[in-house]
Amino acid sequence: MADIHSSDGDALLGVYDLRRSPDRLEAAVARPDAGNQRELDAVKAIIADVRDRGDAALLELTKRFDGVDLGSAAALTAGAGELESAWQGLGADLRTALESAARRVRAYHAVPAGGHRYDDDAIEVTERTIPVARAGVYVPGGRADYPSTVLMTVIPAQAAGVGSIALCVPPRSDGTLPPTVAAAAHLLGVTEVHKVGGAQAIAALAYGTASIARADVVVGPGNAYVALAKAEVSRDVGVEALAGPSECVIVADGGAPAAAVAADLMAQAEHGPGGFTVLVTWSDDLAAAVVDVLAAMVDRSPRAPEIRSTFDAGGRLVLCRDATHAIEVANAAAAEHLQLMVADPAPLVAQVTNAGAVFSGYDTPVALGDYVAGPSHVLPTGGTARFASALRPADFLKSVHVVTASRDGLERMGPVAAAIARAEGLSAHALSIDVRLDR
C-alpha cells in the first residue's frame, strides 16, 4: 500500500492496489471509526434525556453544545417571519438559483412510482433498481414452528432478485431443524439454512462468522431480543421494520360475533410473552360477551400458558365513545394488525393512518394474512407502524440514479449549482463547475 502525498509530505490518500492485493478489499472499503464507546454512551444519554425531559433538555443541550441560550421552548421553532426575512435577505441571483434547483428536484420526485427516467433537455437522470447481493432471513422457533415465515420472508427476497439467501432458524432440542421449516426452505430452493437462533443469529448474519457469510440485509420477526439485536446492528446492515412480539388491535361494533372476536384475540396471544392484544369497542354488551367467551376458550386451548402470559402483560379491553373514537385509539396504538370487525368497515378504513395491516369486516381474521392473503406477515411492531410498512421486495432493493449532463445542460444549470455552492461556502464545489465552463 502506498500513499499520495501533498507537497509538504502529509499523507492525503491511502492507495490500495487491489490488483496486487485483492485480499485488501475489506480494508479498502472500511469506513473511518464512527465513534468509541464513550461517545456512544453520551449519545444514548442525550436520547434518554430528551425522551425524559423534552424541550427542557433541548434547551439545556443547545446551550451546552452550541453555546446558544434560546431562553424558552417557543424559541426552538423558527417563526414564519424569521423564514420570510431570511428569504428576502438573499441576493436575487441566489434566490433564482434556489428556485430553479427546487423546480428540478420537485419535478424529478413527482415522477409516478415506477418511473425511472427524467430528462428536461439539460440533465438526464435515470434510475437503476438493483437487488442486494445477499439477504439474511431469521425464522423464529422455540414455542412454535413457522414454515409460513419462510414463505413470507424468502419469497419477497426472491421476487426482488436476490441471488444469495441465508436462513437462520433455532434448532430443536435434538439439534435438528423443525421439519416443516426445513421443508418450506426446500420448496423455495433455499439451500443455506443455519441452526442458530436469537440475537446471536442476527449478529452472525450482520457481521459474519467462519460459518455464516455476512448479509447486506437482515429481515424476519422474533422476540424482543431479536428485535433489539436488529436495532443494534442496523448501523451496519439493512433491516426491515423491527418485527417483534405479535400485536393485534380489534375494533368491534355491537354486531361482531363474540366468539370470533375472542378467537382472534387468542390467535395473536398464543405467540407468547411480550405480545399486545387489544379489543376496542363502544358496545358494553359485546365487551361482556367477549370476556365470558374468552375465559372458556382459553381454558380449552392447548396453548393456554402462552395466551395467559400475553394477556397478563399486554391484553387490553378499551371501551370508547363511538367508531370515530375507536379509530383514534387504533391510530395511536399503531399496531402490527388492526381488525375492523364492524358492519360497514369501508368508512373506517379511510380513517386509518397507523397500522401494519388492516383486516376489514367480520369474516377477515388476521390468520388469513398470516398464511394466504399474499402480503408478507412480517409487519412493523412496537408502534413503528407510524412510519414503517410490511416486508416487501423493496426492502431488498436499492436505487442508484445515473446523472448525465450535456454540454448545453452544464452551461444552463452549472451556474445555478455554482451559485448555491458559493453561498454555502463550498468553493471547491463551485470550482468543479467553473473549470468546465471555462474550458
- The residues that are catalytic are 336-337
* CB neighbour list of residue 31: distance below 8 Å, 6 or more residues apart: none
Lowest-confidence segment of 93-97, 425-429, 431-435 by average pLDDT: 93-97
* 3 state SS of 205: helix
Average pLDDT, the chain: 86
Which cell numbers hold the place of 400?
442508484
Residue 429 has pLDDT above 90, yes or no: yes
Computed over its alpha carbons, how large is the radius of gyration of the chain?
A: 27
Average pLDDT over residues 282-299: 90
The identity of residue 423, as a single letter, is A
Lowest-confidence segment of 7-21, 39-53, 202-216, 310-324 by average pLDDT: 7-21
pLDDT interval class at 192 (50, 70, 90): very high
Which cell numbers hold the place of 344?
360497514
Taking the C-alpha atoms of residue 381 and residue 223, their distance in angstroms, rounded to an integer, is: 11
Taking the C-alpha atoms of residue 125 and residue 116, their distance in angstroms, rounded to an integer, is: 8
pLDDT interval class at 262 (50, 70, 90): very high
**pLDDT of amino acid 6:** 45
Average pLDDT over residues 220-233: 86
Average pLDDT over residues 364-389: 90
- What are the backbone dihedrals phi and psi of residue 428, each rounded to the nearest 5 degrees, phi first? -70, -30
Average pLDDT over residues 425-429: 94
* CB neighbour list of residue 192: distance below 8 Å, 6 or more residues apart: 164, 165, 166, 167
Render pLDDT for 227-246 as a digit per residue (tens, 0 to 9).
888 888 998 999 987 777 78
Average pLDDT over residues 304-318: 83
Domain over 131-241 is classified CATH 3.40.50.1980: yes
Average pLDDT over residues 112-130: 77
pTM of the model: 0.83
Residue 420 has pLDDT above 60, yes or no: yes
User: Do 131-241 and 247-386 share a fold?
Assistant: yes
Residue 322 has pLDDT above 90, yes or no: yes
* CB neighbour list of residue 156: distance below 8 Å, 6 or more residues apart: 376, 391, 392, 393, 395, 396
pLDDT interval class at 97 (50, 70, 90): confident
**pLDDT of amino acid 30:** 65
pLDDT interval class at 1 (50, 70, 90): very low
Ramachandran region of residue 398, left (φ > 0), alpha (ψ -120 to 50) or beta?
A: beta
CB of 184 closer than 8 Å to CB of 155:
no
CATH class of 247-386: alpha beta
Taking the C-alpha atoms of residue 347 and residue 218, their distance in angstroms, rounded to an integer, is: 37
Beta bridge partners of 276: 247
**pLDDT of amino acid 435:** 95
**pLDDT of amino acid 11:** 46
Render pLDDT for 23-43 as a digit per residue (tens, 0 to 9).
877 776 665 565 567 776 887
Sketch the domain layout of the chain as residue ranges: 131-241, 247-386
Average pLDDT over residues 94-111: 77
* Cα 304 to the center of its chain, rounded Å: 33
